[in-house]
Chains A and B, each alone.
Chain A
Amino acid sequence: MKRALRRDRHPPKPAPAPREKFPPLDLARCERFLMHEARLLDDARFDDWLALFTEDAWYWIPTEPDQQSPFDTVSLIYDDRRLLETRVRRLASPRIYSQEPPSRTSRMIGNVTQEETSTDGFVCTVRSKFMVLENRRDSQRLFGGTAHHRLVQLDGKVLIAWKRVDLLNCDAPLDGILVPL
């Protein structure tokens, strides 16, 4: 069974700017982008991370390995843009007790491939493998799995139209997930 990696509800917006001024999204740029995103998260720069997403982006961590939809099955996280903004605002709150003390994370990304690329090269789906070490209070957790990013280039800037994170242990009993994966 092929996983549903996109939903028809949000086809990526066509870039309005004259595109030829900018190079297309090749693998090297996609890789650099993923490293940049991981670094923002590890550095707890969540506002800057949010700024990587398009205005109608969604961010999804399913509870099932082959989950087809976030609407008929529960998700560890399924945020539309509005909820994602709230999530990031909460992470900055001095009253977020579940981040007292804050988590520290360290991420590794690898095996990056471009899965689907539009003919003009300005929209693509990138698949990657990741490992995230998370340390909080007395314990360290290890998350790993596969991420898919739908990347779009608008005015030379790379943005995330959607991001799906498939955790290897998505259906295991888990304590709270606070820092985005």
Chain B
Amino acid sequence: MSVGEGELVQLIEPGRVHRRVYTDPAIFDLEMARIFGTAWIYVGHESQVKNPGDYFCTRIGRKPVIMVRGPDGEVRVIHNQCAHRGAMVVALEQGNAPEFQCCYHGWTYHLDGRLKAVPLQHGYPREFDPADPKTSMLQVPRVESYRGFVFASEAPDGPDLTDSLGYMATSLDDMVDRAPDGEIEVAGGVFKHTYDGNWKLYFENLCDAAHPLFTHRSSIEAAQQQSDAAHSDGTGEIALRQMRQNGAPYSFWESQVGIWTYPNGHSFLGDYHDDAKLVAAMNDPTFRDYRGALEAKKGKARTDEVLAVRRWNSTIYPNISFMSQFQQLRVVHPIAVDRTVVHAYTFRLKGAPERMFRNAISFANTVNGTGSLVLTDDLEIYNRIGIGLASEGTEWLQVGRGFTSDVPDAHGGRRGKNSTSEVYIRNMLDAWLAYMTNGRAAQAAA
């Protein structure tokens, strides 16, 4: 079943969205073609493929792809599909290879995907041309890196990456600028979590300032009641501070945090921490050392500038959510209309004290861990939305909070009067509709 453009436009109204957007398999298929098949999709970070031959396997939408650094030093993204009879060629998640070889009949490929050798080639018809670019592990047509973050687009033409990022590039800057040596690297492993619900639910939750106080009550209260006299090796200390901070009252979210949105579905939530350990605080020894390292490399004025950027989660639509203060980045992999997998990574700030990284790991375990006291309740929410929507109760989902009080902002943006505005969801739905109608129905929900 296909979904007509007229129908798509009717699914989004000012301040509300039809539940089909989250439940209809035909819409999901269209999303894979029109959003994940055209937009700039984050595939990985250059530090995951440092040397020629290094590769990292991931997905663009549902398509398995390989990010690989060629002998020329160039990072490319190629489809993980053999040109012979379609087998997945590279089976390990990451590694290093001089070339790729399919284990079915031994077709061999250069690292840029071009066919290198075919056993028993004499048996193929005369028209078979191994040099034909179509007979290769096809390259994703456009690949661009922004300060080490590698994005790929399946659309042969379109806006370039920096145009598409717009002002949100500053959130990626914020990730990198915090490194005293000016570089970050993926380190510390990966979390993979999964839920039975639509991929969009993840982004709609990550900047949701109205939910922590409610959804995370069990961990907030358990943390508030925890005695700090109990032994900690530092892990529990970071975790407890984060959980207690989630208990900030509504008045705090309403008055002090802020939410900003930008074209193409991007947005960020303001920092909501006033805890002396989780923010730039001179009385924390680790942070003092870190600040010292930054000042030594960048000077005091620049350091002040870097640390003055105070953002919590940033969303680059349609597939990453990241935060700079503890160097986290989550990649959302849509599997089916009601199934999603999220991979959560941590970065090391080069030149920062090792303790910073250790704190980032503790923080990752707290907010992104599969067994975390916080994330488990978010996963429960995604699953419950999945189940709830199947009831086919209320047709229209309300995303109108803040609708009448949002205000225009610089850089083509729009921000909530306060952080509990659902403006970031409306902004993503605007982008959704624009992608889904190939740009013809932009801004319907604005």
Contacts and interface: CB of A to CB of B under 8 A. Distances in A.
B332 interface: no
B52 interface: no
Contacts of B375: 176
B101 interface: no
Interface string B38-52: 000000000000000
A58 B189 contact: no
A77 B223 contact: no
B226 A82 contact: yes
Contact of B240 (A82, A171, A175): A82
Given A81-B230, A90-B222, A98-B380, A74 B193 contact: no
A67 B365 CA distance: 15
Contacts, number: 143
A56 to B, nearest CB: 4
Interface string B348-365: 000000000110010011
Nearest to A75: B365
Interface string B317-346: 000000000000000000000000100101
Nearest to B189: A73
A75 B193 contact: no
A83 B222 contact: no
B218 A96 contact: yes
A1 interface: no
A78 B233 CA distance: 11
A109 B219 CA distance: 30
Contacts of A75: 365, 369, 371
A97 B382 CA distance: 12
Given A83-B240, A97-B377, A74 B369 contact: yes
A93 B377 CA distance: 13
A84 B232 CA distance: 10
Interface residues of A, number: 41
A178 interface: yes
B215 to A, nearest CB: 7
A95 B224 CA distance: 14
Contacts of A83: 232, 235-236, 239-240, 373
Interface in A51-75: 55-56, 58, 61, 63-64, 67, 70-75
Given A74-B361, A173-B341, A81 B231 contact: yes
B431 interface: no
Given A89-B222, A174-B193, A79 B357 contact: no
Contacts of A96: 218, 377
B223 A86 contact: yes
A18 to B, nearest CB: 26
B371 A61 contact: yes
B379 A78 contact: no
B380 A97 contact: yes
B187 to A, nearest CB: 8
B193 A58 contact: no
A104 interface: no
A26 interface: no
Contacts of A9: 233
B322 to A, nearest CB: 15
A43 interface: no
A86 B376 contact: no
A76 B192 contact: no
A77 B226 contact: no
Given A95-B218, A176-B379, A86 B243 contact: yes
Contacts of A39: none
A85 B225 CA distance: 10
Interface in A122-162: none
Interface in B214-265: 215, 217-219, 221-223, 225-228, 230-237, 239-240, 243
A147 to B, nearest CB: 15
Interface of B: 187-195, 215, 217-219, 221-223, 225-228, 230-237, 239-240, 243, 341, 344, 346, 357-358, 361, 364-365, 368-371, 373, 375-377, 379-381, 383
Interface of A: 9, 55-56, 58, 61, 63-64, 67, 70-87, 89-90, 93, 95-98, 171-178
Given A73-B188, A90-B221, 14 more contacts: A61-B371, A63-B191, A70-B361, A73-B189, A74-B191, A74-B368, A75-B371, A76-B369, A77-B369, A82-B237, A89-B226, A97-B377, A171-B192, A178-B376
